């Protein structure tokens, strides 16, 4: 058996910032091009924070594939590797990415690009919680979560999940208990999904 790395692999799940494909729920407020531009800024921010956390290698898990120029640019940093999300719903893609990471690392943390307040400090806190917990969640105010970290793969956390609904977090908590996984939670953060969420960007960097 190959020994596991003791650091924590950080997986950033990201869509290519293409107009009409990324952040489509923001199109009514920003237009297709504006939504794609914001998606790119959020993507760059998420990868920068993952690198700044310094807790382990960063995997940028891409959809629909890894060919977009922004993905390849970000991977010019040798600490970033590219992978593809592949087929299936969001849960299947997340489960696959985490399972792959946990074959080589004893901890893995997965994030999206929708929560600008999810920074290096939050990522370090998630890594630290995994020292004495099986799982860690960073809830979102909309009833989902912005981060999940695991010490072992557990596909039941992602199967037949009603993604993008307010029930995601509560169902995930129930499934963690059913699987016998002891989990910790960090302070909740805001996702940027709907036009009303744009108020949570904040600061001149997002204006």
CATH number of 5-198: 3.90.550.10
**pLDDT by 10s per residue, the chain, length 207:** 344 556 899 999 999 999 999 999 999 999 999 999 999 999 999 999 999 999 999 999 999 999 999 999 999 999 999 999 999 999 999 999 999 999 999 999 999 999 999 999 999 999 999 999 999 999 999 999 999 999 999 999 999 999 999 999 999 999 999 999 999 999 999 999 999 999 999 754 555
**For residue 2, what pLDDT is reported?**
41
Domain extent listing, the chain: 5-198
**For residue 7, what pLDDT is reported?**
86
Give the DSSP per-residue string, the chain. Answer: -PPPEEEEEEEEEEE---TTTSSGGGHHHHHHHHHHHHHHHHHHHHHHHHHHH-SS-EEEEEES-S-SHHHHHHTTSTTEEEEE--SS-HHHHHHHHHHHHTTTEEEEEEE-SS-TT--HHHHHHHHHHTTT-SEEEEEBTTSSEEEEEESS--GGGTTT--TTSTTHHHHHHHHHHHTT--EEE---B----SGGGGGGS-SGGG-
């Amino acid at each position: 058996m190959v020994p596991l790395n003791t650091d924590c692999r950080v997986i950033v799940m990201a869509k290519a910032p293409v107009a009409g494909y990324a952040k489509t729920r923001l199109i009514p407020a920003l237009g297709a091009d504006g939504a794609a531009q914001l998606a790119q800024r959020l993507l760059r921010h998420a990868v920068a924070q993952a690198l700044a956390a310094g807790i382990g290698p960063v995997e940028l898990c891409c959809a629909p594939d890894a060919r977009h120029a922004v993905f390849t640019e970000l991977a010019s940093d040798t600490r970033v590797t590219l992978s593809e999300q592949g087929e299936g719903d969001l849960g299947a893609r997340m489960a696959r990415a985490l399972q792959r990471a946990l074959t080589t690392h004893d901890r893995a943390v997965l994030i999206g690009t929708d929560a600008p307040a999810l920074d290096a400090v939050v990522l370090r806190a998630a890594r630290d919680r995994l020292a004495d917990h099986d799982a860690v969640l960073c809830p979102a105010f909309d009833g989902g979560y912005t981060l999940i970290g695991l010490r072992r793969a557990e596909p039941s956390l992602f199967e037949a999940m009603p993604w993008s609904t307010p029930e995601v977090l509560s169902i995930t908590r129930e499934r963690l208990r059913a699987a016998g996984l002891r989990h910790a939670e960090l302070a909740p953060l805001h996702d940027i999904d709907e036009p009303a969420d744009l108020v949570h960007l904040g600061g001149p960097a997002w204006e």
